[in-house]
Amino acid sequence: MASENKKTYKIPIGPVHVGLKEPITAWLDLDGESITNATIRPGAIHRGIEFMARDRNPIQVISLSERICGICSFSHVVCFVRAVENVADMPVPARAQYIRAIVLELERIHSHVLWAGVACYTIGFDSAFHLGMLLREKVMDILEAFTGNRVNYGMGTIGGVRWDVTPAVNQALRDMIQYYRDEFDAFYDVVTEDPIAKARMRDVGVLSREDAISYCALGPTARASGIRCDLRWSAPYEAYGDMDIKPIVPQDYYGEVHGDVFDRFLVRVLEVYQSLDIIEACLDGLPEGPIMTEPKIPKLLGQLKKADGMGWGAIEAPRGDDTHVLKLTAGDENVTWWKVRAPTYSNAVSWPIMFKNNELADAPLIINSVDPCISCMERMLITDKGQDTGKVVTKSELLERCRDKTRRLMQG
Amino acid sequence: MPCRKEYVKESKDPQEVLDCLQEKFDKDLAVEIFREQKAGVENKTQFIELWLKITRERFIELVDELFEFDFLHFHITSGNDDGDVVTLYYHFSLFRVADRGKRLGLTIGVAVPKDDLVMPSLFDRIPGIEYSEREIREMLGVDFDGLPNKALIFLPDDWDQTIKPWRRDETGPGPDVVRELS
């Protein structure tokens, strides 16, 4: 480290835009309570993962990719290994494809349940928040029973998966499906029946269809704006190749699209039910056979060393499509270069549009509605144009404002 | 340049798209990869992925030609320092909402010579590309002509901008600034 130049000390190389729980800065311009403009400044949590990958072989990079995100860790792994399998032209056994789809859907359930709970917390609906936390435990328990871990599952490998569905796991998964079908209705009721929750979310943080298209919004954020897009349907991969998955869009259920926080809530809640159906279909149709193409790691590495070319993995992660691109060079055992694009990278571009003409009290809800990190609130700088002073509002103050608005609504 | 802000419902066959482009761009367009993505128990082809390479001079022309097919959904720009040139790969989707298995994954590679590291910006056509162009600008040092906001996006504000983190030449991070990456 060059001591005379302190600036080079902090060297975050490579943009690793992790999906959830990341620090990101939103600069809001306010006119009174109304947000007139917003500027997003990411970049606080870059760890140089893509740079680190240059010194690692593909098997080692699996562990790196798994640690990009805490919730959709397996999505990143699948995305990465698919890109490698593309380059190496390596087949994946059918059983492994089904197991990948099961874990991907478990992850989606985890992400959406957690999100629904946190969204309720943001508007001060604490009983629903605690219910969400309770419901979330089940899927984490199942992931632990299945893979041995609750967050980074260590499940994926190049050319397959590392753990099989045993009869006990199969039964546990089926019990979980029944559990959620019985218990998850509470969130569906929040969407459809609670007037206060609806009042807080309807027509807040609107992203029009046209803006969602031109700003390249992804996943539930895009679908809530009425765009019928889902990579599981438009570009089927793994077990989705044997299934007909319909993208969930609000117009199919309510006959209209608002593109607001309510629609985003609706899409996610309905997707939980869809994921349960997919897991059930995967278990019913689970093919027999091996779960890995090449179980011997040194032999696998030998094959990968011969691979040459570029691969692109794009899958539908819980927050939208996740994209990994990489290059392998024949004769070089390490990854030549690797680019990761988590879904929030794209969805964050549309934040300024969602913020426009909304109240400050709705800001936490809007930020949360694309399912990023709530801790970003601590880094928000608010400048009040009327008073012409820059005043920093802390996370707790902002949350209190958001909850106050719910109280005002409840008092009528 | 007005571009349609809507997706088409009718997709075209990938080979038809490719033939149409090859006819128009001839030698300036090279096909790097035409990949059939397979999945499922029967391992059937599910969708197509296409990697093209175009000269920088005709890049915008190609993009506008692609807009004739559908709104070009942008994923990300990747890139690498390849010695005399910086190669950028733009990853797009065509026919994103057309029908099951109809999405065409489309990558366009462009070699940008190091003595003139400038690309035309696609910001006026695809506003969602902003972060990616700013990222490539700070990481690989390729400037974008027409990009309104050229502020740093992922690097800290006090970053020494003569260092381009993804470059492999003298402008890249030297061993003295990289620590404990193992």
Q: If pLDDT is split at 50, 70 and 90, which confidence band does A2 have?
A: very low
| Closest-approach residue (CA) in chain A for B95 | A234
- Decide: helix, strand or coil at residue B110: strand
Q: What is the pLDDT of residue A395?
A: 62
Q: Assess A234–B contact: CB distance below 8 Å, yes or no.
A: yes
C-beta of residue A92 within 8 angstroms of C-beta of residue A85 = yes
Task: Name the residue range of residue A89's domain.
Answer: 25-407
A85-129 pLDDT per residue, tens: 999 999 999 999 999 999 999 999 999 998 888 888 888 888 888
Contact B80 A337 (CB under 8 A): yes
A161-178 pLDDT per residue, tens: 999 999 999 999 999 999
Does any domain span residue A1?
Answer: no
A169-202 pLDDT per residue, tens: 999 999 999 999 998 887 788 777 888 888 888 8
Does any domain span residue A320?
Answer: yes
- Cα(A104)–Cα(A110) distance, rounded to whole angstroms? 10
Q: Is the ipTM value over 0.95, yes or no?
A: no
Does any domain span residue A10?
Answer: no
C-beta of residue B136 within 8 angstroms of C-beta of residue B142 = yes
Structure tokens at A75: 């999505």
Q: Length of chain A in residues, anyone?
A: 412
In a mutagenesis test of the A interface, which of B41, B81, B95 is the best target, namely the one with the most A β-carbons within 10 Å? Answer: B41
- Cα(B96)–Cα(B28) distance, rounded to whole angstroms? 26
Q: If pLDDT is split at 50, 70 and 90, which confidence band does A282 have?
A: very high
Please report the domains of chain B, with CATH numbers, ordered by start residue: 14-177 (3.30.460.80)
In the stretch 73-102 of chain B, residues with CB closer than 8 A to chain A read: 73-76, 78-80, 89, 91, 93, 95-102
Contact B153 A214 (CB under 8 A): no
Does any domain span residue A9?
Answer: no
Residues 6+ apart with CB under 8 A from A119: A201, A261, A265, A365, A368, A369
Q: Quick one: A163 exposed, middle or buried, by C-beta within 10 A (0-12, 13-18, 19+)? A: middle
Q: What is the pLDDT of residue A399?
A: 75
C-beta of residue B104 within 8 angstroms of C-beta of residue B123 = no
Contact A43 B158 (CB under 8 A): no
Does any domain span residue A402?
Answer: yes
Does any domain span residue A3?
Answer: no
CATH code of the domain covering residue A89: 1.10.645.10
Q: Quick one: A355 exposed, middle or buried, by C-beta within 10 A (0-12, 13-18, 19+)? A: buried
* Gap from B178 CA to chain A (nearest CA, Å): 7
Q: With a cut of 50, say whether residue B47 has pLDDT above it.
A: yes
Residue B54 Cα distances to A129, B57, B73, B112, angstroms: 52, 8, 18, 11
Structure tokens at B81: 């320092």
**Number of separate domains in chain A:** 1
Q: What is the pLDDT of residue A378?
A: 34
Does any domain span residue A412?
Answer: no
Place of tokens 């209705």: A185
Q: What is the pLDDT of residue A372?
A: 65
